[in-house]
Amino acid sequence: METRVKPAYDAWINSVMVSRMIWRATVLTLFPEMFPGPLGVSLAGKALASGLWALEARDIRDSATDRHRSVDDTPAGGGPGMVLRADVLAAAIDAADISPDRPRLLMSPRGRPLTQSGVAELAAGPGPLIVCGRFEGVDQRLIEARNLEEVSVGDYVLSGGEIASMALIDACVRLLPGVMGKLASGADESFSEGLLEYPQYTRPQEFEGRAIPEILLSGDHARVAAWRQAEAEALTRARRPDLWSAKASQKRPKNTTDG
């Protein structure tokens, strides 16, 4: 950053921080030592170190009550594996004592798929409490009794909710004010307009006989923008027909009212 804009930038960051509470993720896990992990480096890590967001990883086992500190038991009705106990998890959630306006999430392959708009909504709020499952999952009564919203990071099964929660937190943190270097870089990327991002290029101008598309070197901003839009649309149509038809059906009612 240029030195002459730095003081103004710092003042702006301060005003943002004073005007809103710091975005906070409270994670309930059996493996608190996994945090911050990858969230402690690069963009998210720098922002964490400079106080732009806060992370609290709480050990579920601290809420166990028996002398073996057990957190799980065999599934009612039989079957393989272990299930996280409702009473222990409820005590862990209650001990975290979070304000009622914070979302309470459970990472779960059965959950609502996480999307960029869901991420943007979470990033705009005070920050969630996130329960990380392990083993076969958690007792259903806990989900109902503590009103947890189940969130999935994709149609595959991880061995625990921790990596899933890190994906969610990372996606939120990069949208927080002051975290990304250039303010614009969040607005123009994959999913923000219901499209995948256009291809990116940088120097060298030629790589193994492949040139950068000439339009990008033309300096004609309008033509560059039109090319990028066309590429984004073609990519989305080819790779993600689901996104493409969702975008088309969003457009349709608007066009009808316009005309």
- Interface contacts to ligand SAH, rule CB under 6 A: 107-110, 132-134, 136-137, 152-154, 156-158, 160-161, 164
**3-class state of residue 18 by DSSP:** helix
| Smallest gap from residue 131 Cβ to ligand SAH (A) | 7
In the complex, least distance from residue 111 CB atom to ligand SAH, rounded to whole angstroms: 6
**What is the closest distance, in whole angstroms, from the C-beta atom of residue 80 to ligand SAH in the complex?**
10
Q: Minimum CB separation from ligand SAH for residue 172, in Å?
A: 15
Q: Which residue is nearest to ligand SAH (CB)?
A: 133
DSSP state of 116: H
Least Cβ distance, residue 91 to ligand SAH (angstroms):
18
Beta strands in the chain (DSSP E): 23-29, 53-59, 72-73, 83-84, 104-113, 129-132, 149-152, 206-207, 210-211
Q: Which is nearest to 104 in space by CA: 89, 116, 115, 117?
A: 89
Q: Given the complex with ligand SAH, which of 135 and 191 has the nearer CB atom?
A: 135
At residue 181's C-alpha, the angle toward residues 178 and 183, to 5°, is 70
In angstroms, the first-to-last Cα distance of the chain is: 47
Pick between residue 108 and residue 236 the one whose CB is nearest to ligand SAH: 108
Nearer to ligand SAH, 8 or 157 (CB): 157
For ligand SAH, the closer CB: 114 or 176: 114
Q: Cβ atoms within 10 A of the Cβ of 226, count?
A: 12
Between 132 and 172, CB nearer to ligand SAH: 132
- Are 201 and 213 in contact, with CB atoms under 8 Å apart? yes
Shortest spacing between CB 147 and ligand SAH, in angstroms: 17
* Minimum CB–partner distance for residue 248 and ligand SAH (Å): 28
**CB closer to ligand SAH out of 89 and 123:** 89
Closer residue to ligand SAH, CB minimum distance, 107 or 195: 107
Strand order in the sheet with 23-29: 53-59, 23-29, 129-132, 104-113, 149-152
C-alpha distances in Å from residue 240, one per residue of 33, 111, 236: 37, 21, 5
Which amino acid, one-letter code, is at 92? A
Tokens of 222: 């309008």
